[in-house]
Amino acid sequence: MANHKSSLKRIRQEQKRRLHNRYYAKTMRNAVRKLRATTDKTAAQEMFPGIQKILDKLAKVNIIHKNKAANLKSKLANHIAKLG
């Protein structure tokens, strides 16, 4: 266990930050999963800008890496293009 006041505070801050980051990362994963499960092209096209926005925001604040966001956006765009 930590001995210093500052390290106790740091532990509290990290836990709060971790929960915050986990929430947004999980929300992003669910949104991506939902788009990949969609078979309707128009519905997928309507969902895509919102998911792009989520990915860009998470990459901006380093919850996910910027290259991961770019890769996901690219793969989702390809998925939408392949839908009939």
pTM (2 d.p.): 0.85
Cα 68 to Cα 25: distance, rounded to the nearest angstrom: 12
pLDDT tens digits along 1-56: 778 999 999 999 999 999 999 999 999 999 999 999 999 999 999 999 999 999 99
Q: Residue 28, Cα to own-chain centre: how many angstroms? A: 3
How many helices (DSSP H) and strands (DSSP E) are in the chain?
A: 3, 0
pLDDT greater than 90 at residue 84: no
pLDDT tens digits along 41-69: 999 999 999 999 999 999 999 999 999 99
In the prediction, which pLDDT does 1 show? 72
